[in-house]
Amino acid sequence: MLLLVGLGNPGSQYAGNRHNIGFMALDAIHRRYTFGPWKRAFQGEAAEGKFAPGGDKVLLLKPLTYMNESGRAVGEAARFYKIGPESIVVFHDELDIVAGRLKAKTGGGHAGHNGLRSIDAHMGANFRRVRLGIGHPGDKAAVTRHVLGDFSKADQAWLEPLLDAVADAAPLLAAGDEAGFQNRVALLTAPPKPAKQPPAKSSGV
């Protein structure tokens, strides 16, 4: 079984926050594939399903413990299903990646992200991560306001295509192909190439 975890804070007041892009990614995956309804379980909201008929079972989990206690929910689900860190993929916001881009990796530090820090404490650092770029405000003093602020209307131009691409490419994560997942998302979110202009006609002079 693959455990996909989206990080965020529960409650309508946080729903549009940049910090909640992990929740948004899981919602996009849930809409795209055959998953059961969200149910309260493992100190969060969980849904079971598959990416394709006959495929391995996938559990989606949105911890409702607030960000800094996310590891409690992840640890409970992992123990119940006997899932190791290598079968856990965590979707989270990343300040140090340009908005609209992402990077997938296994292991690493938490870089001050409270959700990752909590999961690290419960599961160790060797879980897989999908780092969803939200961009840096450019001023360290503005980071908290940026992270806990809502996505703007202008952000929707890149946010919706990114979430759609994450959902489209998610089966590659189940196959263990992080590079393929990353490349697929990059391809789907690349701006269209400008149309080639026909060569100018010679005047014949």
What pLDDT, on the 0 to 100 scale, is given for residue 204?
56
CATH code of the region 2-189: 3.40.50.1470
Q: Which of 19, 30, 92, 113 is catalytic?
A: 19
What pLDDT, on the 0 to 100 scale, is given for residue 203?
58
What pLDDT, on the 0 to 100 scale, is given for residue 202?
59
Nearest to 178 by CA among 124, 104, 123: 104
What pLDDT, on the 0 to 100 scale, is given for residue 42?
97
Residue 142 structure tokens: 């503005």
Is residue 106 a contact partner of residue 141, using CB atoms and an 8 Å limit?
A: no
What pLDDT, on the 0 to 100 scale, is given for residue 111?
77
Local structure of residue 150 (DSSP, 8 states): B
Is 113 designated active site? no
State how far the Cα of 84 lies from the Cα of 93, in Å rounded to an integer: 23
Residue 11 structure tokens: 């409650």
3-class SS of residue 116:
helix
Low-confidence residues of the chain, pLDDT below 70?
A: 195, 197, 199-205
Is residue 17 a contact partner of residue 93, using CB atoms and an 8 Å limit?
A: no
What pLDDT, on the 0 to 100 scale, is given for residue 3?
97
What pLDDT, on the 0 to 100 scale, is given for residue 182?
96
Other beta carbons within 10 angstroms of residue 129's beta carbon come to 26
What pLDDT, on the 0 to 100 scale, is given for residue 193?
75
Other beta carbons within 10 angstroms of residue 14's beta carbon come to 16
Tens digit of each residue's pLDDT (9 = 90 or more) over 94-126:
999 999 999 999 988 887 799 999 999 999 989
Residue 185 structure tokens: 């998302």
The domain spans of the chain are: 2-189
What pLDDT, on the 0 to 100 scale, is given for residue 54?
86
What pLDDT, on the 0 to 100 scale, is given for residue 192?
76
| Angle subtended at Cα 193 by Cα 188 and Cα 195, rounded to the nearest 5 degrees | 140
Cα separation values, 73 from 68, 101, 196, 204, Å: 11, 27, 52, 75
